[in-house]
Structure 1
Amino acid sequence: MIANLNRYAATLAGIALLLMAIVGALDVVGATTGRPLVGTHEITETLMVIAIFMALASAQQRNAHIRVELFTRQLSPSLQVALSVFALVCSLACFALIAYFGWSSTLRSISTGEFRQGQLGFPVWPARMALALGSTLMVLQCLREIFVGLTTRSRAEQP
């Protein structure tokens, strides 16, 4: 189930990247003809948050985040798993805080009708919701991997 949610979120991130490219291209074409696209900055800002946060859990699931293994390669497999679980717990704590405050901020933004000032009055809540949802997916992915890591470690320690 988490894998499917991550895939849908990553698809949404890809769509956001595609839309950013289209909006940027339209703005450049418009600027050369004297009519730049109104609200390009605000739209791109929101799409950037969607692209980044909606892809986090999928990258974690595929083990695609940057990792320095210079020293950990030399450790025993059980110690490597233990360090990996520790790193996941740290990630879980950070993303749980981001998710908590992200959801709080999203609900506040929706209830107050918060808009970003700029060329185009743009609601703030979609970007905040993407941050909160992506962080929540990352928390779920970390929990899943911690569980897998702990069960793997306990199996490795059995005689």
Structure 2
Amino acid sequence: MPNWTRTFVHYVDAVNYRIGRFAMYLLFVLMGVMLWSSFARSALTPAIWTDETGQFLLLGYFMLGGAYSLQLDSAVRMDLFYSRWSDRTKAIVDVVTILALIFYLGVLLYGAVESTAYAIEYGEKRRGLWQPYMWPIKVVMCVGIVMMILQCTSIFFKDLATLRGEDLS
């Protein structure tokens, strides 16, 4: 494989590793917000910001951790046949399926960018008592999708290298 491919795979994997490790800690922030919500509802007046903040943190965790999950190969897979295949057969099947995933993520990114542009242009707010702006979480969503596309491209190159008998890991 060309040097630029090795460099691309190295940097994408490194960036997604760091973003994924950061995203893991969002669960602790989420737990803190939900703990505060529980405490405030029973001892104080209910905080109106905790539900939306919890939902935004969970979305950030999910979207930013998606590429890291792909990198660790911890995505759910139908393993009935896959585990019995040779590495070459797995790579062939993965090349086809990763292209389908990249297409899906591309369509998802198109919709996310349109939605984010709308939220920024019109100052979209979430319905409810607190009414936070929607654009920050939509930007996080777009970043997460882009990182997943880049990680899928990295996986694609690794599978092509496996088919050629090389190792890009």
Query: If the length of structure 2 is used for normalisation, what is the TM-score?
Result: 0.84
The offset of 1:101, in angstroms, is: 1.4
Specify the alignment match of 1:80 in structure 2. 90
Alignment partners' CA distance in 2, 1:11 and 1:151: 27
Q: What does residue 134 of structure 1 align with?
A: 144
Distance 1:105 1:8, change over 3 A: farther
Q: What CA distance in whole angstroms lies between the structure 2 residues aligned with 1:15 and 1:75?
A: 36
Could you tell me which runs of 5 or more consecutive residues in structure 1 were left unpaired when the two chains were aligned.
Answer: none
Other-structure match for 1:48: 58
Instruction: Please list every run of at least 4 consecutive aligned residues from structure 1 whose deviation after the TM superposition is greater than 6 angstroms.
Output: none
Structure 1 residue 99 and structure 2 residue 85: aligned? no
Q: Residue 100 of structure 2: which of 68, 78, 90 is its match?
A: 90
Equivalent residue for 2:80, pick from 62, 65, 70: 70
Aligned partner of 1:60: which letter?
A: L
- What is the CA distance between 1:12 and its match in structure 2? 3.9
**Cα offset for 1:18?**
1.8
Tell me the amino acid that sits aligned with residue 114 of structure 2: S
Q: For the structure 1 residues 12 and 122, does the alpha-carbon distance in structure 2 shift closer, same or farther, using more than 3 Å as the test? A: farther
The alpha carbon displacement at 1:99 in A equals 1.5
Cα distance in 1 for residues equivalent to 2:15 and 2:117:
22
CA distance in structure 2 between the partners assigned to 1:72 and 1:11 by the alignment: 28
Distance 1:53 1:121 in 2: 22
In 1, Cα distance between equivalents of 2:161 and 2:14: 23
Number of the residue aligned with 2:133: 123
Do residues 30 (structure 1) and 40 (structure 2) align?
Answer: yes
SS of 2:76's partner is: coil
Q: CA deviation at 1:116?
A: 0.8
Q: Secondary structure at the match of 1:119?
A: coil
Q: Is the 8 A contact 1:102 1:132 kept in 2?
A: yes
Q: TM-score, normalised by structure 1?
A: 0.89
Is residue 92–residue 139 contact of structure 1 (8 Å, CA) maintained in 2? yes
Structure 1 residue 153, shift from structure 2 partner: 0.6
Alpha-carbon distance, 1:120 to partner: 0.6
